[in-house]
Amino acid sequence: MDNKDVAQILSEIALLLELSGENPFKIRAYGEGARIIEALDMPVAELVRSGALSQIKGIGKTLSLQITQLIQDGSVPLHQELRAAFPEGVREMLRVPGLGPKKVKDLFEKLGIKSIGELEYACHENRLITLPGFGPKSQEKILQGIEQFKKFQGRHLFGGVYPLASEILEQINKHPKTLRASLAGSLRRRMETVKDMDLVSESEHPEELMRFFTSLPIVDQILSTGPTKSSVLLDTGLQADLRVVGPKQFPYALHHFTGSKEHHTVLRARAKALGFKLNEYGLFKGEELIPCNNEADIYRFLVLLYIPPELREDWGEIEAAENHTLPVLVEEKDIQGAFHFHTHFSDGTPTLSQWVQAADQAGLKYLGISDHSQSAAYAGGLKPDQLEKQRAEIALLNQKQNRVHLFWGIESDILPDGSLDYSDKELAQFDFVIASVHSRFNMTEAEMTARIIRAIENPCTTMLGHPTGRLLLARDPYPVDMNRVLEAAAHHSVILELNANSHRLDLDWRLMKKAKELGLKIAINPDAHHLDGLEDIAYGVGIARKGWLSREDVFNCLYVDQVQTYFRNLKNTSVGK
């Protein structure tokens, strides 16, 4: 049982305690405990062994005992009892928008509804109307919520929402009554998936702006609307919320609606301890508003360095802001080039010269071409005789132009036994080799970990591609001990890919801080199969920032000559490896 398993059980206990109607602070203690364990940079089992567990802030006597028992026995009675009390389907009902623990509890206990399916049926039979606290409107809302849930399971890819959100923001910004406007919420924090779209704007005529927003052509339905806050359902099925505030309130509102909830909980407690009150309308000392022109001012009054939105997850950023140890985050302009581009040689569309032209327009100084290797038959992997043809074409292009340097690489499949997909002699020809798992995902964790580590140990491996193989909202990561993978990569100087494709965003940002601490380099790779894949690099930068990376941590912030030197040195040292 690793940290993730422990955290998962603790947070499920928190959820189930909510359904039981427990003391909210007890619920929070379990939720906090889950977060603390998930963010640990060492195995919780070690803390159990050394007895240091209860010394961690937020883990008291009871949680310490529960976690110890989880590590030792693999389960705790409290969890088992709660699970027995509430069937799986009841827990799932909490994911329907508009349903919280109190209502789910009522539905389960008073109407015997045990799943979303049963709930839908009960709504159609008008059985909710008679329940105290419910009425025709709430029954209708629940039905809509179920539709919503069935369609998207409540979450959307960042990359699927961001362009549309930017467009709506632009329209709000263009409105004559708008003074300022910004994206907020998880979009602004660059979460890999988002539940909805949050916007904040400043205006002296909020009602006009609100009318404008709720009547945008893309709005399918108005969920709620008030003088300062409205929610609409867009015709894409996504919910969008706009908050309008008066002049001078903007920084506080933007900060509030950017979140995260966890970040704010800690921040407000801090504000209180310093004699302030922080809410969406301002930072107050007694009744007096403390004037802030921007978010940085708010943090300054709380005796903290400015915390960029991407870091606001209560993931250690408040302590770092207090101790002046916040990283200087990587920016898009720091990116010099990128790796992991597919061409028409395998399953990509662009030709080599099309890539050069597109990269030049995007201001990139180099590209790393890496088509699929021979066993990836489904993707037109390159047979050894095609390799020479591609090598020659790249050499010619590099000769003919010097705007964008092409590095010649390959995305080699990691075969089930951990070997790579060409002979060592063939692999040695490339400037770089990305090793990736594309098959046999159903191994045990031990097998998969050994397989990947063997590929990392291969002296020809330069980078590890999409390290966990996840597809966001579609496929879970394959089972793999990422702590061991990161350590092996650090030991063998293998660069880790941050696959910037919005379906992957893999390496997960939650693992990146650890990677950084191990001294690993991260390459922000678009894994591009089409020309517009270049735009994904920006998503990767967002995730890298979320993972606390500075430009020194990002391999493709190196200049082209530095990359050339790096690859050359690698080849010289790997001979004896």
Instruction: Output 470-475 pairs: Cβ under 8 A, ≥24 positions apart.
Output: 470/504, 470/506, 470/508, 471/503, 471/504, 472/157, 472/192, 472/193, 472/502, 472/503, 472/504, 472/505, 473/153, 473/155, 473/156, 473/157, 473/193, 474/503
Compute how many other C-beta atoms are within 10 angstroms of the C-beta atom of residue 156: 23
397: Cα separation from own chain's centroid: 37
Which one of 264, 342, 438, 514 is in contact with DNA (CB under 7 A)? 264
State yes or no: residue 141 binds DNA (CB under 7 A): yes
Out of 51, 117, 133, 291, the residue judged to bind DNA by CB under 7 A: 133
> How far apart are alpha carbons 55 and 71 in whole angstroms?
17
Residue 153 touching DNA (CB under 7 A): no
Binds DNA by CB under 7 A, chosen from 58, 77, 237, 291: 58
30 binds DNA (CB under 7 A): yes
User: CB under 8 Å to 523, separation ≥6 — which residues?
Assistant: 338, 339, 340, 463, 495, 496, 497, 498, 554, 555, 556
Pattern 475-514, binding to DNA, x per CB under 7 A? ----------------------------------------
* Position 104 contacts DNA (CB under 7 A): yes
How far apart are the C-alpha atoms of 203 and 282, rounded to whole Å?
A: 16
Of 43, 97, 246, 459, the one binding DNA by CB under 7 A: 97
Residue 39 class from Cβ within 10 Å (0-12 exposed, 13-18 middle, 19+ buried)? middle
Min. distance of Cβ 108 from DNA in angstroms?
Answer: 11
3-state secondary structure of 91: helix
- Looking only at residues 523 through 562 of this chain, which bind DNA when binding is defined by CB under 7 A? none
Q: Are strands 239-245 and 196-202 parallel, antiparallel or unpaired?
A: parallel
Q: If binding is defined by CB under 7 A, does position 409 make contact with DNA?
A: no
Of 33 and 467, nearer to DNA (C-beta) is 33
Give whichever of 57 and 151 is closer to DNA, judged by the CB atom: 57
| Smallest separation (angstroms) from DNA to the CB of 101 | 5
User: Given candidates 91, 103, 504, 529, which one binds DNA under the rule CB under 7 A?
Assistant: 103
If one asks whether residue 28 binds DNA (CB under 7 A), the answer comes out as yes
Residues 6 or more apart whose Cβ sits within 8 Å of residue 407? 339, 366, 367, 368, 369, 431, 432, 563, 567
Residue 134 found at the interface with DNA (CB under 7 A)? yes
Q: What is the CA radius of gyration of the chain?
A: 26
Of 572, 537, 571, the C-alpha closest to 555 is 537
CB of 296 to DNA, least distance (A): 21
- The residue count for binding DNA (CB under 7 A) is 59
Nearer to DNA, 17 or 330 (CB): 17
Cβ 332 to DNA, closest distance in Å? 26
Which structure tokens are listed for 332? Answer: 């898009």
Identify which of 60, 61, 83, 65 has the alpha carbon closest to the alpha carbon of residue 9. Answer: 83
Give the shortest CB-218-to-DNA separation in angstroms.
19
By beta-carbon proximity to DNA, the closer residue of 281 and 301 is 281
User: Judged by CB under 7 A, which of 84, 125, 137, 287 binds DNA?
Assistant: 137
Piece of 19-27, 329-337, 365-373, 509-517 that binds DNA (CB under 7 A): 19-27
User: Is residue 29 near DNA by the rule CB under 7 A?
Assistant: yes
Residue from the set 43, 118, 281, 360 that interacts with DNA by CB under 7 A: 281
Under the criterion CB under 7 A, does residue 77 sit at the interface with DNA?
A: no
- Do the Cβ atoms of 277 and 271 come closer than 8 Å? yes
- Residues 6+ away with beta carbon under 8 Å from 363: none
Among 462, 460, 432, smallest CA distance to 370 is for 432
Query: Interface residues for DNA in 169-228 (CB under 7 A)?
Result: 185, 195-196, 198, 224-228
Q: Is 309 in the site for DNA (CB under 7 A)?
A: no
Q: 554 - beta bridge partners?
A: 522
Q: 26 or 391, CB closer to DNA?
A: 26
Burial of 324 (0-12, 13-18, 19+ CB in 10 A): exposed
Contact window for DNA (CB under 7 A) among 258-266, 304-312, 374-382, 494-502: 258-266
We find the least distance from the C-beta atom of residue 175 to DNA, in angstroms, to be 18
Instruction: Based on the shown chain and the rule CB under 7 A, indicate whether residue 229 belongs to the binding site for DNA.
Output: yes
Residues that bind DNA (CB under 7 A): 23, 25-26, 28-30, 33, 56-64, 97-104, 132-139, 141, 185, 195-196, 198, 224-229, 239, 241, 257, 259, 261, 264-265, 268-269, 272-273, 277-281
